[in-house]
Amino acid sequence: MSLLGSLLVFLMFVQGGQSLLFGTAKENEEKTLLVNALGHKWELTFTTLVTFGGAIFASFPLYYSTSFGGAYWLWMAILFLFVIQAVSFEFRSKAGNLLGPRTYETFLFLNGTFGTILLGVAVGMFFSGGSFVMDKSSIADTFQPTISYWTNGWHGLEAIVNPFNLLLGIVVYLAARTLGLMYVMMQIESETLNTKCKSQIKITGPAFVLGFVAFLIALFTMTGYSVNPENGLISPVKYKYLFNMTELIWPLVMLVAGVLLVLSGLGLNIFGKRVGKSSFFLTGGGVVLAVWSLLICAAFNDTAYFVSTVDPQYSLTLYNSSSSEFTLKTMAYASLMVPFVMGYIYYVWRAMTKVKMSIDDLSKPDTHKY
């Protein structure tokens, strides 16, 4: 297996992961302004989620089949939450929308809260594992050819009540909410909304930081599983994730840098005189770095990234679940396009957000209003 090839693809999928996390910030203020300001950006988040799915499929097909096919209900719940989001912006204020604006606002709210929490829970399973069995030889059994099975009837719902997963889910939600508040302050011209956000962020921001610290403590004290690259045997290692940080060093650097960025962004926002764009981008950048480093920590350094709680030998590692070298190389070529894609996203983002959005803008004749 080519580590180089998987590295590139892996990075890309990780990036997909983060943009999701901060992009899904959608708390419902039942304000047209908010829906519109967020509505200009929702496609970007959604697209990232879809690309994230595609990239996992292409890079780690065994994860795709084991986790999605096993933790069926968890993923289905996430899907439902995103389906109802996709239509809600466009349908909310339109005449003839059958369900009335309130329903669509509720859809958005559900997506913003439970959508983020459940995605956090799903990411938590990279550390806490799932109760599945997996044997590739099964495919040669014509009566029971399924490779991987979930061993309980909850099919992923049990992961939600796992305290570790739930903690991460809440942290993800708080992160998304913090960034959402900052985005609103940055993008919307409204005195009342701004004051409300300003007082809210004083609670949400510190809660996010505290939650994250609690999560780090839980993570660094837990037992992880290490894979022997020679023979594929998997064994428990105490403080595995802490060692991953100290042995690899660069995730640690990224994590520290990320935390510092988040803290400075929050500090600027709460104590600064003027709410500029910098606090949003500082915090966002910090979140990206921190999550990125955690995901690296979940799989690199010979770590089993999806542990089977039934028998660790079934666990998924980069070695047994990745795509072939050829496919990963193909993907690496395709990901050469990523800077170009980022470039035009940046250009469009700038062109579209030069000025703040106010209620007057929405009544201008050339505006497509949500």
Residues 282-341 that bind another protein (CB under 8 A): 323-324, 326-327, 330-331, 334-335, 337-338, 341
- Burial class of residue 334, CB neighbours in 10 A (0-12, 13-18, 19+): middle
With H, G, I as helix, E, B as strand and everything else as coil, classify residue 357: strand
Q: Work out how close the CB of 168 gets to another protein at its nearest, in angstroms, rounded to a whole number.
A: 21
Q: Which stretch binds another protein (CB under 8 A): 65-73, 108-116, 192-200, 259-267?
A: 65-73
Q: Work out how close the CB of 11 gets to another protein at its nearest, in angstroms, rounded to a whole number.
A: 13
By CB under 8 A, residue 359 contacts another protein: no
Enumerate residues 5-44 that contact another protein by CB under 8 A.
Answer: 12, 40-41, 43-44
Contacting residues for 95 by C-beta, under 8 A, at least 6 apart: none
**Backbone phi, then psi, for 269, in 5-degree steps?**
-70, -40
Cβ closest to another protein, residue 237 vs residue 361: 361
What amino acid is encoded at 55 in this protein? A
Cβ closest to another protein, residue 58 vs residue 121: 58
By CB under 8 A, residue 59 contacts another protein: yes
What amino acid is encoded at 178 in this protein? T
By CB under 8 A, residue 233 contacts another protein: no
Cβ closest to another protein, residue 94 vs residue 277: 94
Structure tokens at 122: 């799903």
User: In this chain, which of 3, 32, 61, 260 binds another protein, going by CB under 8 A?
Assistant: 61
Cβ closest to another protein, residue 53 vs residue 285: 53
Q: Using CA atoms, how far apart are residues 99 and 84, in angstroms rounded to an integer?
A: 12
Q: Work out how close the CB of 219 gets to another protein at its nearest, in angstroms, rounded to a whole number.
A: 26
Structure tokens at 348: 């469009």
Structure tokens at 84: 């109802």
Q: Using CA atoms, how far apart are residues 2 and 10, in angstroms rounded to an integer?
A: 12
Q: Using CA atoms, how far apart are residues 157 and 251, in angstroms rounded to an integer?
A: 31
Enumerate residues 86-145 that contact another protein by CB under 8 A.
Answer: 86-87, 89-91, 94-99, 136-137, 139-142, 145
Pairing of β 304-306 and β 316-317: antiparallel
Cβ closest to another protein, residue 94 vs residue 238: 94
Cβ closest to another protein, residue 14 vs residue 201: 14
By CB under 8 A, residue 57 contacts another protein: yes
By CB under 8 A, residue 82 contacts another protein: yes
Tell me how far CA of residue 129 lies from CA of 20, 137, 260, 270, 280, in angstroms.
Answer: 21, 22, 29, 37, 33
Cβ closest to another protein, residue 51 vs residue 264: 51
Enumerate residues 172-191 that contact another protein by CB under 8 A.
Answer: none
User: In this chain, which of 30, 348, 356, 359 binds another protein, going by CB under 8 A?
Assistant: 348
Ramachandran region of residue 156, left (φ > 0), alpha (ψ -120 to 50) or beta? Answer: left
Is residue 366 within 8 A of residue 42, CB to CB? The reply is no
Cβ closest to another protein, residue 49 vs residue 266: 49
CA–chain centroid gap for 345, Å, is 19
Enumerate residues 142-171 that contact another protein by CB under 8 A.
Answer: 142, 145-150, 153, 155
DSSP string covering 56-70: HHHH-HHHIIIIIHH
Cβ closest to another protein, residue 81 vs residue 262: 81
Q: Work out how close the CB of 121 gets to another protein at its nearest, in angstroms, rounded to a whole number.
A: 16
# residues contacting another protein (CB under 8 A)? 82
Q: Which stretch binds another protein (CB under 8 A): 55-63, 119-127, 193-201, 239-247?
A: 55-63
Closest CA to 185 of 306, 307, 356: 356
